[in-house]
Structure formats: structure tokens, C-alpha cells
Structure 1
Amino acid sequence: MKLRSIASLIVSALLTGAALAPINSAQAQSTSTLEEVKVRGVLRAGVRQDVLGFGIVDEKGKIVGFDVDLVGELAKRLKVRLELVPVTATTRIPLLQQGRVDLIAATLTYYRQRDDVIDFSIGYFAAGQRLMVKKTSPIRTISDTAKKRVGTTIGAGVVENLKKAQPEATVQTFEGYPEAFLAMQRGLVDAIVADAIILAGLRANTANPEDYVIIGTSLNRSNYSIGVRENDSKWRDAVNYTLQDIWRDGTWDQIYDRWIGSGSKIKLSKDEIGFAMDLWE
């Protein structure tokens, strides 16, 4: 009798656990990052610190740039404090998946493969991938990179785009864009490929910007988006609506002029980057 009672208790416990497991799982999934951010009172944003104009360390040791100001506005409008977490092209998505950041605003372009593991906001900045070479280089088109060495960053989707456009190019990857640019300056690679705005930033930050030219037609037509964790539509909607408000009230223009446009070192017009305002409607 005693053995039967113990067996009954064990079976009952197992059945209860099995019944509760789906409920707990559903409860965990129902908690949006939006609630977590508001309860915490802090928005943890993953940003680059190696891309002039978007995220770079200034002389005071602070990370500044377009993406930093953009997430600053998001935090301000959500009425929470902003915490910046430095990321690279390699670490940004894993850090988001691991829950160490709430979003990534880090020159992140949409690719179908990436959409399998994270979700994306609406586009907030037009980004087309092109080549940059020394002014004295014979390379003038993507086709000219056949049997040439082309540098870019680890984890950049541009690698696949370049391979499709010119399969005979040899791609060499580096930890960041500054390292790739330095390799080109030293003759270790013949060209570098990246988003046009990133190339313009690298060039603007050199002692002799006129020594480098951005060439070729764009390898793609994409936009920078904010990355959020999968299956959290409440958080993604909150980010999207706030981005639209930032655009409509003129704040986006102010941030653009400060870091990319006439008031910046890069000095690129909206026409040059091909920004599509219909993305915000």
C-alpha cells in the first residue's frame, strides 16, 4: 500500500509538471522587451564604435554618432535611460540573441539569412555597397576586382554580394572597417568594399581624403534597420512607431545634418545616399 502511494505521488508530480511546462513557456514568451525595458528603466542598445558618422569613440572616450543619437531619442521617448553596449559586425547579433542588449542599431542591413534569427525594424538609412580604392588604382568597376584582393569585415553580408558580382575576387576579412582600410593603405589589399556611407566616413577621417575614390555601381540596395529579438511584435511596433515620429517631427534631419550632412566631416546629401522617405509612411 505504501509503495502504491509513493508511485501515485510520482506519477501525479510528473503529470503536473508536464501540464505546467507549456503554461510557463507561454508566460515567458508573453513578456515583451518593451515591458522589460520600462520595468528596468534602461534601454540597452548595441552600437558600433568603429564607423565614422554612426558610432565612434570621441576624444572624451564617449561613443558618438548617428546611431547613438537615434537610440538616444528612442530611450528619451520611452522615458528610460540609455545604456550603450559596444558591438562589432561579428558580435552584434549573438549579443541580441543572448539578451545582453534590447536592440542593435549598428549599421545593420537586412538579409534573409539574418531574418531567420532576428527581426528588423523599418529601414532608417539607405545603404548601398560599393568599392573604395586608391586614386592611383586601375580598379574602376566591380569586374576589375577579378584576381584582386578585396577587404571587408568579418560577418559582413557584403562578402556574399561581392562573390556573386565577381567570383574571381579574393576576399580578405578584418575585425573592423578601420583595419580593412589600413590594410588597403599599406597595400595588403587592392580595394575595400562596404556600405557607401561607411567608405565615405573612412575617407573623410584620413589626412588626405582626395587620395581615395568610391567607385562602381552598388552591389545591393538595402537600408539600415534596428535589430530586435524574434517574435516580439509589441517591441518591434514600439520601435517602428517611435522611428516614424523621429522622422516626421524633423529630429531625423537634425541628427543627419550633425553626423552625415552639411554640418559633418562626411558632408553627404540625402540625394547621394538615396534615402527613400516612403519607408517612413
Structure 2
Amino acid sequence: MPKLLPLALPLLAGLTLSAAAAHADQLEDIKKRGTLVCGTLGIAEPFSFANPQTRETQGYDVDFCGAIARSLGVKLELKLVAVPARIPELQQGRVDVLAANLGWTAERAEQIAFSDSYYVSLTKAATRRADKFAAVNNLSGKRVATAKGSTSEAAARKAIPDVQVITYQDPPSIFLALQQGKADAAVASELVLVKWKTEVEASAPIDVLEPALLNESWGIGMRKNETALIKHVNGVLESMEKSGEAARIFDKWLGTGTPYKLKRGFQSGPIKG
């Protein structure tokens, strides 16, 4: 048997360790570590945003992260991520899961695994009332502000002919662009637009236009091939649906007692591409 060259020994060891890491069971790693690292936006009320009093991150997405952590008997650690950085943060192992307004797309599904849906979002466009845009088809060729790398950006490009897309890092920047006249419309989730509409009705009213540009299912993002973790997360979502916990979280953040006054018209379940 040929002898290994001295320089080959550390190389072989490195390859062995890399192979072991590649086949590690992430679910077991999370349990051993005692912490679930959940990537979330932190600036997207009511999904994940800072509590005005405590400054702690809270919201719909955060509650689902917390439920997954409790099911594993581990602590929850939140890591705030920007919209364009969501998938890279997950792929590079800096977060275990993503609960970050992550809408399913075929392109994303090639990069990461999606859980069953835990929210269904309508993407719409909002304009300044003074500009008198009656419907989405009036926005052809206009300047539209949206979040960089989001499904809202993709929806605007697909649904509005000759659109001039201007991208920003977060929802407040999008709305500011609309208010300052840097954009003719803002494209975001319906509930974000409804909240903005309520807040500025007296001073600078906006209209939310029909029809919706996109109807998208959101899932918890995970790395591909982590079958144990994916199965566990889907089991948690199924249990939350059956127990009513998922509906209670919806009502807490989005229901009739909130500024959004929405009714839950969906159930958690497999996302159909």
C-alpha cells in the first residue's frame, strides 16, 4: 500500500471533517447546542419588529419561531437579517431557520427548503390619492418602490408593463419614497399598505389599488437535505393548526382587534408551486 505523503495527511483530515459536517443532522445539532437561531427581519410590523417599550423583537414571525424552539426544548435566539441577505444567511449556516416574510417561489425552492405555509400574503400597490390612479393597470411605465430581492419586486416587474422599479432595503424606506414623490407607487404586502393608509389618512392619504399583483404562501426557510428538521417543523405547524394556536397568533397580530382588521382566510398546509 503506498505511503501517504506528509502534506496529504492534513488534507485528508480536512476532507473527512468537511464530509462529516456536510452530513451532520442539524436537528440534533440544535438540540445539543440548546438554541434555535431564527433569522427574521425585525423591521416588518406586525411580523417582526421592536416593541416600543422594551425594544425586544416581537411579532407574528417571532411567535412561530418561539413555538418551534419550545417544541425542541431549546432557547430561541433571533438574528435580524435584511431581505436580500435572508437566503445567504441560511445557506452559510448563520441561522438555522428563516421566518422572515419569505414567500415561496420556484427559484427560491431550488436554493432552500420551505416548510408548509404559515401565512398567505396578498401583494398590492399603493399610490398617493392626489395622483388619482384608479387601478394597477394605470401604473404602466411608472416608478414603483419595493423591497430589494423580495417577491414584491418580482411581482411588480411581472404585473406592471414597462415598470421602473426602484428598490430599497426596508418597508419604511419604500413608503418614504412614495411620500416624497420619488416613486409613483409602493408595492408591498396588503397589510403593510393597510397600516400605512390608516396612519396617513388625515395628512397624506393613499389608495390601495386592485387587483392584487400576487397571492403568495410564506414558509419557514431551511437548508435542503435537512430532512429531520424539515419534518419536525412541518409537524409543529400541523399541530399548531389543529390546536388553534396558529389562528390565535393570527388574531393577536392581524385580527379584528388590530389596526389591520383582517380575517384568516387560509390554513397551514403544503405549498403548491
Common fold by TM > 0.5: yes
Q: Is the CA contact 1:53–1:201 (under 8 Å) kept in the aligned structure 2?
A: no
| Structure-to-structure mapping, 1:51-66, within 5 angstroms | 51-59=44-52, 60-66=54-60
1:182-218: CA deviation from partner (whole Å, max 9, x where unpaired): 1111111111112213322443455749922221212
Go from structure 1 to structure 2 and tell me whether the alpha carbon gap of 1:277 and 1:209 turns closer, same or farther (over 3 Å shift): farther
Go from structure 1 to structure 2 and tell me whether the alpha carbon gap of 1:209 and 1:33 turns closer, same or farther (over 3 Å shift): farther
Which residue in the other structure is 1:88 paired with? 82
Matched AA of 2:180: R
| Structure-to-structure mapping, 1:145-164, within 5 angstroms | 145-164=139-158
Which residue in the other structure is 1:171 paired with? 165
What's the Cα RMSD here?
2.6
Matched AA of 2:128: K
Go from structure 1 to structure 2 and tell me whether the alpha carbon gap of 1:31 and 1:153 turns closer, same or farther (over 3 Å shift): same
| 2:121 matches 1:127 | yes
Choose which of 37, 61, 68 in structure 1 pairs with 2:62. Answer: 68
Q: Is the CA contact 1:51–1:201 (under 8 Å) kept in the aligned structure 2?
A: no
Name stretches of at least 5 consecutive residues in structure 2 with no aligned partner.
Answer: none
| Structure-to-structure mapping, 1:22-61, within 5 angstroms | 24-59=17-52, 60-61=54-55
Alpha-carbon separation, structure 2, partners of 1:53 and 1:203: 15
Alpha-carbon separation, structure 2, partners of 1:73 and 1:8: 55
Q: Is the CA contact 2:141–2:161 (under 8 Å) kept in the aligned structure 1?
A: no
Aligned length: 270
Alpha-carbon separation, structure 2, partners of 1:204 and 1:230: 40
Go from structure 1 to structure 2 and tell me whether the alpha carbon gap of 1:235 and 1:208 turns closer, same or farther (over 3 Å shift): farther
Alpha-carbon separation, structure 1, partners of 2:255 and 2:72: 27
Matched AA of 1:56: F
Partner of 2:67, secondary structure, is helix
Go from structure 1 to structure 2 and tell me whether the alpha carbon gap of 1:263 and 1:27 turns closer, same or farther (over 3 Å shift): same
Which residue in the other structure is 1:200 paired with? 194
Which residue in the other structure is 1:3 paired with? none
Cα offset, 1:16, TM superposition: 11
1:100-134: CA deviation from partner (whole Å, max 9, x where unpaired): 11001011001111122211111111112111122
Partner of 2:4, secondary structure, is helix
Go from structure 1 to structure 2 and tell me whether the alpha carbon gap of 1:205 and 1:68 turns closer, same or farther (over 3 Å shift): farther
Alpha-carbon separation, structure 1, partners of 2:157 and 2:121: 19
Cα offset, 1:174, TM superposition: 0.8
Cα offset, 1:161, TM superposition: 2.3
Larger radius of gyration: 1
Name stretches of at least 5 consecutive residues in structure 1 with no aligned partner.
Answer: 1-6
| Structure-to-structure mapping, 1:261-276, within 5 angstroms | 261-271=255-265, 275-276=266-267
Residue identity over aligned pairs, in percent, reads 30
Q: Is the CA contact 1:66–1:255 (under 8 Å) kept in the aligned structure 2?
A: yes
What TM-score, normalized to structure 1?
0.87
Alpha-carbon separation, structure 2, partners of 1:126 and 1:112: 16
Which residue in the other structure is 1:102 paired with? 96
Go from structure 1 to structure 2 and tell me whether the alpha carbon gap of 1:210 and 1:17 turns closer, same or farther (over 3 Å shift): closer
Which residue in the other structure is 2:215 paired with? 221
Which residue in the other structure is 2:132 paired with? 138
Which residue in the other structure is 1:115 paired with? 109
Alpha-carbon separation, structure 2, partners of 1:270 and 1:209: 30
Alpha-carbon separation, structure 2, partners of 1:70 and 1:15: 46
Alpha-carbon separation, structure 2, partners of 1:11 and 1:132: 67
Matched AA of 2:209: I
Matched AA of 2:104: Y
Cα offset, 1:270, TM superposition: 1.7
Matched AA of 2:132: P
Partner of 1:188, secondary structure, is coil
Go from structure 1 to structure 2 and tell me whether the alpha carbon gap of 1:209 and 1:78 turns closer, same or farther (over 3 Å shift): farther
Alpha-carbon separation, structure 1, partners of 2:139 and 2:91: 36
